[in-house]
Structure 1
Amino acid sequence: MPVAMSPVVTLSSGQRGQWYEQNCGQTFPQGGLGTDSPLTGGALWADMGLTNALVPAVDPAVVAMQAEQQLVLPKPVVRMSPVQTGRQVTGLPAWLWVERGSWSSVSRTAQVPGVTVTATATPVSTVWDLGDGSAPVVCQGPGTPFVEGGDPGASSPDCGHRFAQSSAAAPGGVFQMTVSEHWTVRWQGAGRGGVFPDLVTRTVVAVRVVEVQDLVVSSPVH
């Protein structure tokens, strides 16, 4: 009868199996274990097929979905100029930007036995719906902060707006401005990678816009 010579082993080719030899008992004079007699012969290989040790038991894309669901993205922290009064003035350039703390990559990692995947969300753009009926302002970045003491008549180099009308007639006397931050999401792990649909975080801010009339003072006539 066959007797195992080794435990189950995996060859370098990935093939799994076990070595056996025939044991016909010592009552047969033809030979004992390990001989090449007709009854015993040499060692025998019992093939068990290719191992799946190198193949992840779980699709990395499935694990990537778990990592993506763990992402907690910050809402944009909105800033505008002039920051001193908190009010905007018609006709003057308003600088628009979000704080850098809400503009940085966020990563989360998920794992199961044999598979580790990391999903990373990266902010790429902001969309400013000013609430005044104008077209949204799309900025490819966080925007440039206005420097206190700077020229109030200068426009932002990359993200700005000019209000054409006051918010006096709007509900509550304010425009409801919505700022959307768009994020790309990529994943990497287990020798693979991919891209998820973009994610969006939003902040709504009430903006009061006032209209300043030029005052013309005539000199008294004597």
Structure 2
Amino acid sequence: MIVASFVAALMGSAPAHAFGGSDTRGEVQGDEVSASAHSSRIKVTQQSGPTGGRQGTVSPTDVNWKPPPCWYEPVFSPAQLKDFAENDGDGDVGLRDGWYGTRLWTDHFKDGKDATSIFTSPSTVKGYKDYNLGKNGYFWRGVAPDVTAIDDTSLCSRLMFWVDAGEVPDVPNAPTPKTLAEYAYDRIKVPSTEIEVRPQTRSTVNLPAWVWLDKGRFKEVRVRAELPDTGLWAETTAEPVALHLDPGTPDAVTQPPSGDCTINSDGSIGTPYTRGDADRTPPCGITYLRASNGGPYRLRASLTWRISWKGSDGSGGDLPDGTFPATRDMAVQEIQSVNR
């Protein structure tokens, strides 16, 4: 059994990344091999939607929702593991287990010696002969963008294990299309919320400011997340559905009163201001009731995106709506009149 050398690697000079370093954006593309359990091979590509201009990610409206903290995925083919074990040998053999030195890897995966982990059950894992060369499949390992966010140390912590090609292991935290859809949630890039406002520079007390969004800019964005060597994929779609206005002061009235401007049938929000509209009530806008003495009001405009997904197995559903806010200064003046 690999006991003394394994524990020494755990308690001795192992780099800190093997025990909870964070790489929230870690992605390993295609067939590239990573020695870090914080890097995922999930590949995310944009399928539709704007690609230029200022962009950013949405924030879930459900503050308690979080993407999956960890999952298992294929890491090494037999040939890749042989090359890594015999020529490198420094890296993660599990989500919380780092092996440093080729002997640890060759003893377990080449010479069939059992290995021990203090983080998972069963704690003793039977060894493999000659890296399973000649077999068709992959060695799988737990992956987590941020191990420090996982309270249960046994979660996704199995030592690297074998799975035949074309199969997904029947274990807790095995990847599913929904896992991929949720992983892709904060990798969806949506256009920044740049609203049009008239009057553009300075508003006037009791006169409405018109707010709108161009129909050509705010279209649905769809991304595809695929996990190589599994056949699993999911497409996650963000669709703009409403704009919420917060005037930045209680001394204001929004149109509509809720502050929620719905999207029009052509994809626009609100109606552009035209000359002669100054005394009309806009379908989407703000009327300030008091001048912004001492500094401008901070108008906050948050675009809501409805997030849905569909997967390779025919599954699908909704994820929490996302918002992307923007702010702009609104200087509001009060017109003075003098009677003689």
TM-score (normalizing by structure 2): 0.43
Picking from 278, 281, 301, the partner of 1:155 is 281
Match of 1:125 in 2: 242
Tell me the SS of whatever aligns to 1:62: helix
Decide whether aligned partners of structure 1 residues 53 and 117 sit closer, same or farther in structure 2, where only a CA change above 3 A counts. same
* C-alpha distance in structure 1 between counterparts of 2:236 and 2:253, whole Å: 33
Deviation at 1:207, TM superposition (A): 0.6
* C-alpha distance in structure 2 between counterparts of 1:151 and 1:143, whole Å: 13
Tell me the SS of whatever aligns to 2:182: helix
Identity fraction in percent? 28
Q: How does 1:1-222 map to 2 (within 5 A)?
A: 58-83=175-200, 86-112=201-227, 113-133=230-250, 134=252, 137-141=259-263, 142-147=269-274, 149-156=275-282, 158-169=283-294, 173-190=295-312, 191-216=314-339, 218=340
Decide whether aligned partners of structure 1 residues 81 and 140 sit closer, same or farther in structure 2, where only a CA change above 3 A counts. same
Tell me the SS of whatever aligns to 1:168: coil
Could you say which structure has the larger radius of gyration? 1
* C-alpha distance in structure 1 between counterparts of 2:248 and 2:185, whole Å: 32
Match of 1:39 in 2: none
* C-alpha distance in structure 2 between counterparts of 1:179 and 1:213, whole Å: 30
* C-alpha distance in structure 2 between counterparts of 1:56 and 1:108, whole Å: 23
* C-alpha distance in structure 1 between counterparts of 2:271 and 2:165, whole Å: 52
Deviation at 1:214, TM superposition (A): 2.9
Decide whether aligned partners of structure 1 residues 78 and 154 sit closer, same or farther in structure 2, where only a CA change above 3 A counts. same
AA in 2 matched with 1:166: A
Match of 1:27 in 2: none
* C-alpha distance in structure 1 between counterparts of 2:321 and 2:209, whole Å: 28
Higher helix share: 2
Asked if the contact 1:75/1:102 (under 8 Å) is kept, the reply is no
* C-alpha distance in structure 2 between counterparts of 1:54 and 1:121, whole Å: 30
Deviation at 1:53, TM superposition (A): 9.1
* C-alpha distance in structure 2 between counterparts of 1:185 and 1:129, whole Å: 23
Deviation at 1:56, TM superposition (A): 6.0
Unaligned runs of 5+ in 2: 1-163, 170-174, 264-268
TM-score (normalizing by structure 1): 0.64
Unaligned runs of 5+ in 1: 1-51
Asked if the contact 1:80/1:97 (under 8 Å) is kept, the reply is yes
Could you list the runs of 4 or more consecutive aligned residues of structure 1 that deviate by over 3 angstroms after TM superposition?
52-58, 99-102
Decide whether aligned partners of structure 1 residues 181 and 123 sit closer, same or farther in structure 2, where only a CA change above 3 A counts. same
